[in-house]
Structure 1
Amino acid sequence: MTEKLLRPLRTRPWPERWLTRVLGAALSAAAYLLCLPWDLRNRPETADSPVETTPVTGLGVVFLVLILLLLAAYFGHRDALAWPLLLVAVPPATLLYVSLRTHPGPPDGFANAWPLTWAFFTLLGAAGVLVVAAVARQFRADLVDEELILAHHM
């Protein structure tokens, strides 16, 4: 069973490939929603404060990063290098965009900073996913070589 879960997706039938990919994208979106919950009732901490309350915690961000990096490693190991970017980085970036776009910012000039915030975190996430996927892909080559050696000696 483990061997089937770690084989390159290109060797699997197309329904299994696409189901695995859809499941990966759903998992990355679900991780974002679970780790960074949305609270549309954000309100100022005090009457004069520009800082709002938020349900986002540092631990939630750490868990999100770990989950996304694990998904990136898994899909980097199993699929072509572009797929982890599409499956792992794009769903959270899209949800972050929607969250920042729909959330009313403070009344001062920082309300227009959300595009820069979104771009920064999207690029940071995409770079992390690509690096982890590329490293995981290197281990796939080692496993494939070992399988060929073992098959040849049997």
Structure 2
Amino acid sequence: MTDKLLRPMRTRPWYERWLIRLLGAALAAGAYLLFLPWDLRNRPAAPRATEGTIPVTGAGVLLLAFALLLLAAYFGHWDHLGWPLLLVAVPPAVLMHLSLRTHPEPDASFWPLAWGLFTLLIAAGVFVAAGVARAFRGEWAREDVSLTNPL
């Protein structure tokens, strides 16, 4: 079983590649929902307060970052470099966008900016982790690339 998971994606049948990619996207979305719970009852802590009661903790953010970096490293090592962005960065960004759109109007003016910043941070972290993992590929990967790419 471990041998199957640790094979390059290009050596697998198409249905296996897509199943693993779908599983990776589901794991990224599940990590977001697990570590950053979605509380639709977001309300001010006190009357006229600008801060709401949200269940997001620093530990949850760190655990989410760790889970996304692990997924990015796996897909960056075994798949093409563009896939980690689509599979690991997009599901949390979409869920965050949906979560931020549920906030009431008075504090909603800052959410597009916050969403853009956090999406950029997630995408940059995923891209860097995937690139670093790709640099640690074995010699067999470099030989295969050099045979198929004359440049």
Same fold per TM (> 0.5)?
Answer: yes
Q: TM-score, normalised by structure 2?
A: 0.88
Superposition CA RMSD, Å = 1.6
Aligned partners of 1:36 and 1:60 also within 8 Å: yes
Alignment of 1:1-154 (within 5 A): 1-105=1-105, 107=106, 110-142=107-139, 144=141
Paired-residue identity, %: 67
Matched to 1:28, the amino acid is: A
Matched to 1:113, the amino acid is: F
Aligned counterparts of 1:8 and 1:137: Cα–Cα separation in 2: 11
Q: TM-score, normalised by structure 1?
A: 0.87
Matched to 2:122, the amino acid is: G
Aligned counterparts of 2:63 and 2:29: Cα–Cα separation in 1: 13
Q: Secondary structure at the match of 2:137?
A: helix
Aligned counterparts of 1:121 and 1:53: Cα–Cα separation in 2: 20
Deviations 1:62-109 (A, max 9, x none): 00000000000000011000000000000000001111112215x2xx
Matched to 2:121, the amino acid is: L
Aligned counterparts of 1:102 and 1:34: Cα–Cα separation in 2: 18
Aligned counterparts of 2:18 and 2:109: Cα–Cα separation in 1: 38
Q: Where does the alignment leave 5 or more consecutive residues of structure 2 unmatched?
A: 144-151
Between the two proteins, the alignment pairs up a number of residues equal to 143
Aligned partners of 1:6 and 1:77 also within 8 Å: no
Alpha-carbon offset, residue 141 of structure 1 = 3.6
Aligned partners of 1:42 and 1:53 also within 8 Å: yes
Aligned counterparts of 1:93 and 1:145: Cα–Cα separation in 2: 33
Aligned partners of 1:89 and 1:129 also within 8 Å: yes
